[in-house]
Chain A
Amino acid sequence: MNYDIIIIGAGIVGCSIARELSSYNGSVVVLEKENDVSVGTTKANSGIAHAGFDAKVGTLKAKFNVLGNKMMPSLSNDLDFPFKQNGAIVLGFEEESLEILKDLLNRGIVSGVERLKIISKDEILKLEPNVNPNVKYGLLAPTSGIVSPYEMAIAYVENASSNGVRFDFNSEVIRIERDKNEYVVTTASNKTYVGKVIINCAGVYSDKIHSLASNKKSPFTVISRKGEYCLLDKMYGDMASHTLFQTPSKLGKGVLVTPTTHGNLLVGPNAQDEVDNANVDTTIEGLKEIWDKASLTMPNLPKRGVITQFAGLRSHLKESDDFIIGFDNELIGFYDVAGIESPGLTAAPAIAKHVSKEVATYLNLGINLHFNPIRKAIPQISALPNEVREKLIKENPLYGHIICRCEVVSEGEIVEAIHRVPGAKDLDGIKRRTRAGMGRCQMGFCTPKIMEILARELHEDIDEITKNGHHSYMVEKR
């Protein structure tokens, strides 16, 4: 198949670029090696829409972070994904912290972050009564927010798809060849795609993709750096209302404690260099480390409140501390979006605008007059007023059948998640789209029912249902 643009990787970067490109006239395909969107780094991070005071002044990180943060409110409105501007506080526990906080404040001001302010211990404890009373100073950043990263990516993808972008899953790119003025991309299942431009959004694999195309060592090397988290029950979600960072010190960057958009409490991450790009296992030492560090922020964190742990990989570049965004100097029509570590999630909307404009100009693409920027989320029975619930169930009785007890998710929501394009194909896909299985019992109760619904709606046998694609089967072959 021939396309104007082939995007490799369906993380937040690939998904947001795909959607922005769909506002131009051009054919776009996204190739993703996994069974779903947002299963790489984009599903496992802090989910903070950073204000932008952290990145060094003048870097791409700072520029796109601040721009992306400003886009978040209206974008979350258009695409209907969970976002809340809850503000952040960087907590200082030492006298020396004040100087560092002032530095951050100044950096932020120069980069264009608004309303930053140093606050006192009393002000902090008034805003956040559960914070360690030994806190001395804080930097308040009211423009910081929280976002559900995988729902943001899914929203982007559904919108891109309705505007004509094609998504192919289980399509690992293993070969990239140059044929005349085009690239021929081959996947592990031996399908080929021909495109004029390749956009490399492969996250921790972006150096590998680059060298597939260039046939030599990539000019940049990704060091994947693992970050681990603990997620707490919603019962404890209100222990913090702001995102609480620790002041960076000799001991490192510290960990954060933050509420999530769904009202849980999230604690983490640490930072461990990891050689294996596919290894997102949590570790005994790592989980202990984040817990110990988080206890500095909040001494009363309830360990029994933890419902799950996870880890994600930062794609840190060996050669540079900044994002790499742009056409390669040697490879014609090959565009890298690499080294997109934090604040990559926040920056993605702004990066996508920038990249799509550059690529559209390069290919001379016109504006897509049919582009519709609006996408609606799946209705959530748990969050709706009674009148709307009644109407919805009347139209589709499946909305009256509750499947997930912890998060109160109905069969209607699950069926819709399966039939959206691109839809959920496995248990984790249902989870990210509907929250069924994300609560207190972590799918203990609803697993059998969701397996049944998936099999029925996808016309598959129940023994073909997986947790997250590949060979992650749930039950034995019959």
Chain B
Amino acid sequence: MINHDLVIVGGGPAGLAAAIGAYESGIKDILIIEREEHLGGILNQCIHNGFGLHTFKEELTGPEYASRYINKVLEYKIPYKLNTTVIDLNGDKVITALNESDGLLLIQAKAIVLACGCRERPRGAINIAGSRCSGIYSAGTAQKLVNIDGLKVGKEVVILGSGDIGLIMARRMTFEGAKVKAVVELMSYSSGLNRNIVQCLNDFDIPLYFSHTVIEIKGKDRLEKVKIAKVDEHLNPILDTAFEIECDTLLLSVGLLPENELARNYDVNLSKTTNGAIVNENMMTSKEGIFECGNVLHVHDLVDYVSEESYLAGKMAAKYLNGELNLKSKVLTVNPTNGIRYTVPQLINIDDNYSPIQFKMRVSNVFKNVEIRLLVDDEVIFKKYKQIVTPGEMETLNIKEDLVKKIKQGSKIEITLFRRS
């Protein structure tokens, strides 16, 4: 058994920022564990630019963005292990990990940050009938094959899902010489960033079908065609609107699944909405000393927010290790209502050290002309006007210290959408 003050599971943007946050708050005995050959997480395969606008005010590629954080980790000489997979978490923060050189590693940690990122939802999860031929990839898998392995996945492509990964892959496949015949989206709006719709589809005349879905897959060995139909207001396919598109490749960008196996086995309370842990404003989960941040906590659209959130998680883990977190304070639940699907954090602690709180949230539908309001005991203490909110873009509310003070023991806290008429 080896001992470390802080172990960070995952060396993507979340894990890196958490390590930096903890280090800059005085914790030196840190270990980052990453199962891939490189630090940087999913960013390593995102060779397009558009990263870091928020943090660095410049447009970086994924690997460039990641390298800023990796360089910091190297500069601080924070230890990390690559090609090492954490397979279990048990006892009192005992980590089991495997790699080729050490074999089995048992690590006793004093605090743990889970920064494991997420996986893509597979075809099965969206119940598409038909053949189980080859040529069906999740968009991220195709991205890896194309960008990292330099392979061509297909010639004629249909993409299901207009989230950012789907949109970016539409452009990428076009650059690779493939014909992207359609992007198909179940909802009546895209969950991707607007700039991606313009830059990845419109610029290449790729048709985008809203309120449509793929209902059937046909092909003997390799995909031959897909059947597409319009959906009604309950999202059920209207079968007599069906038409077929011939293609050899179907990319699925139909959502991400936070990778919470470790947390689940450790009985960390998870949210049914985000599939990530339920955390308080310190990013601490229901298990003392276990923190969570990044895409494993909830799916982010901008990596800048991942870094910001994870830096905070690292800092709070340091505070915890230094005995500076009040663990006995009263916990209040933040209630998302009226069009707010969830908030992170879901819980807040009330003690005497008030500090600003950032709430991140997603809405459940497209709404125009709304205020996002924070209510404490039915009184509006903060509001933010938005011309439009969509489920695809995460919203934030930054609540300053003096307003946080209005939250008292036993207060009722609500974050809600108010529609201006």
Listed in ascending order, the chain A residues whose CB lies under 8 Å from chain B are: 230-231, 235, 278, 280-284, 286-287, 303-304, 306-310, 381-382, 386, 389-390, 393-394, 397-402, 405-406, 408, 410, 440-445, 447-448, 452, 462-463, 466-476, 478
Q: Which of B11-19, B132-140, B342-350 contacts A (4 or more CB under 8 A)?
A: B132-140
A448 contacts B83, C-beta separation under 8 Å: no
Contact of B119 among A386, A441, A468 (CB under 8 A): A441
Q: Which residues on the B side are within 8 Å of A410 (C-beta)? A: 98
Look across to chain B and name the residue whose beta carbon is closest to the beta carbon of A387.
Answer: B104
Measured in the bound complex, the distance between the Cα atoms of B130 and A308 in whole Å is 12
Q: Which residues on the A side are within 8 Å of B215 (C-beta)? A: 284
Q: Which residues on the B side are within 8 Å of A304 (C-beta)? A: 125
Count chain A CB atoms within 10 A of each CB in B106, B120, B132 and give the residue with the most: B132
Measured in the bound complex, the distance between the Cα atoms of B134 and A304 in whole Å is 24
For chain B, residues 129 to 155, give those with C-beta under 8 angstroms from any C-beta of chain A.
Answer: 129-134, 137-138, 140-141, 144-145, 148-149, 151-155
Q: Which residues on the A side are within 8 Å of B220 (C-beta)? A: 278, 470-471
Measured in the bound complex, the distance between the Cα atoms of B279 and A244 in whole Å is 38
Q: List 6 A-B contacts (CB under 8 A).
A: A282-B130, A390-B104, A400-B98, A402-B98, A444-B119, A475-B153
Given A381-B98, A447-B137, A476-B152, 8 further pairs, Cβ under 8 A? A283-B129, A401-B83, A406-B261, A443-B122, A452-B149, A467-B134, A469-B221, A475-B145
B100 contacts A440, C-beta separation under 8 Å: no
Count chain B CB atoms within 10 A of each CB in A231, A399, A405 and give the residue with the most: A405
B104 contacts A393, C-beta separation under 8 Å: yes
Measured in the bound complex, the distance between the Cα atoms of B391 and A395 in whole Å is 51
Look across to chain A and name the residue whose beta carbon is closest to the beta carbon of B87.
Answer: A408
Q: Which residues on the A side are within 8 Å of B259 (C-beta)? A: 405
Contact of A441 among B106, B148, B257 (CB under 8 A): B257
B119 contacts A471, C-beta separation under 8 Å: no
Is residue B188 within 8 Å, beta carbon to beta carbon, of the partner chain?
Answer: no
Measured in the bound complex, the distance between the Cα atoms of B188 and A410 in whole Å is 42
Min CB distance A309 to B, Å, is 6
Q: Which residues on the A side are within 8 Å of B96 (C-beta)? A: 386
Q: Which residues on the A side are within 8 Å of B133 (C-beta)? A: 467, 472
Min CB distance B254 to A, Å, is 11
Q: Is the interface of B mostly helix, strand, loop or mixed?
A: mixed
The 8 A CB mask of B103-141 against A (1 = contact, 0 = none) is 110100000000000011111110101111110011011
A441 contacts B98, C-beta separation under 8 Å: no
A306 contacts B152, C-beta separation under 8 Å: no
Q: Which residues on the B side are within 8 Å of A303 (C-beta)? A: 127
A405 contacts B119, C-beta separation under 8 Å: yes
Contact of A306 among B127, B137, B138 (CB under 8 A): B127
A442 contacts B123, C-beta separation under 8 Å: yes
A444 contacts B134, C-beta separation under 8 Å: no
Number of B residues with CB within 8 Å of any CB on chain A: 53
Is residue B398 within 8 Å, beta carbon to beta carbon, of the partner chain?
Answer: no
Given known pairs A386-B104, A471-B221, A472-B222, the reply for A466 and B134 (CB within 8 Å) is: yes
Is residue B230 within 8 Å, beta carbon to beta carbon, of the partner chain?
Answer: no
Given known pairs A448-B144, A468-B134, A473-B134, the reply for A393 and B100 (CB within 8 Å) is: yes
Min CB distance B202 to A, Å, is 27
Is residue B85 within 8 Å, beta carbon to beta carbon, of the partner chain?
Answer: yes
Look across to chain B and name the residue whose beta carbon is closest to the beta carbon of A390.
Answer: B104
A473 contacts B100, C-beta separation under 8 Å: no
Measured in the bound complex, the distance between the Cα atoms of B106 and A440 in whole Å is 26
Given known pairs A307-B125, A447-B137, A467-B134, the reply for A441 and B222 (CB within 8 Å) is: no
Q: Which residues on the B side are within 8 Å of A389 (C-beta)? A: 98, 103-104
A440 contacts B98, C-beta separation under 8 Å: no
B134 contacts A394, C-beta separation under 8 Å: no
Given known pairs A393-B103, A402-B87, the reply for A447 and B216 (CB within 8 Å) is: no
Measured in the bound complex, the distance between the Cα atoms of B218 and A470 in whole Å is 16
B130 contacts A281, C-beta separation under 8 Å: yes
Look across to chain A and name the residue whose beta carbon is closest to the beta carbon of B176.
Answer: A476
Min CB distance B215 to A, Å, is 6
Measured in the bound complex, the distance between the Cα atoms of B148 and A463 in whole Å is 15
Measured in the bound complex, the distance between the Cα atoms of B132 and A284 in whole Å is 14
Measured in the bound complex, the distance between the Cα atoms of B148 and A235 in whole Å is 32
Q: Which residues on the A side are within 8 Å of B138 (C-beta)? A: 441, 444
Measured in the bound complex, the distance between the Cα atoms of B407 and A231 in whole Å is 46
Min CB distance B244 to A, Å, is 14
Measured in the bound complex, the distance between the Cα atoms of B149 and A472 in whole Å is 19
Is residue B101 within 8 Å, beta carbon to beta carbon, of the partner chain?
Answer: yes
Q: Which 8 A-B pairs have the closest CB atoms?
A: A308-B124, A442-B122, A467-B134, A397-B100, A476-B152, A402-B85, A471-B221, A393-B103
Is residue B326 within 8 Å, beta carbon to beta carbon, of the partner chain?
Answer: no
Q: Which residues on the A side are within 8 Å of B83 (C-beta)? A: 401
A448 contacts B122, C-beta separation under 8 Å: no
Contact of A308 among B103, B122, B134 (CB under 8 A): B122
B127 contacts A382, C-beta separation under 8 Å: no
Min CB distance B146 to A, Å, is 9
Measured in the bound complex, the distance between the Cα atoms of B127 and A230 in whole Å is 9
Is residue B99 within 8 Å, beta carbon to beta carbon, of the partner chain?
Answer: yes
Is residue B172 within 8 Å, beta carbon to beta carbon, of the partner chain?
Answer: no
A382 contacts B87, C-beta separation under 8 Å: yes
Look across to chain A and name the residue whose beta carbon is closest to the beta carbon of B132.
Answer: A310
B221 contacts A472, C-beta separation under 8 Å: yes
Q: Which residues on the B side are within 8 Å of A394 (C-beta)? A: 103
B103 contacts A400, C-beta separation under 8 Å: yes
Measured in the bound complex, the distance between the Cα atoms of B216 and A283 in whole Å is 8
Q: Which residues on the A side are within 8 Å of B98 (C-beta)? A: 381, 389, 393, 399-402, 410
A287 contacts B155, C-beta separation under 8 Å: no
Q: Which residues on the B side are within 8 Å of A474 (C-beta)? A: 134, 153
B257 contacts A287, C-beta separation under 8 Å: no
Measured in the bound complex, the distance between the Cα atoms of B220 and A278 in whole Å is 9
Contact of A472 among B101, B121, B134 (CB under 8 A): B134
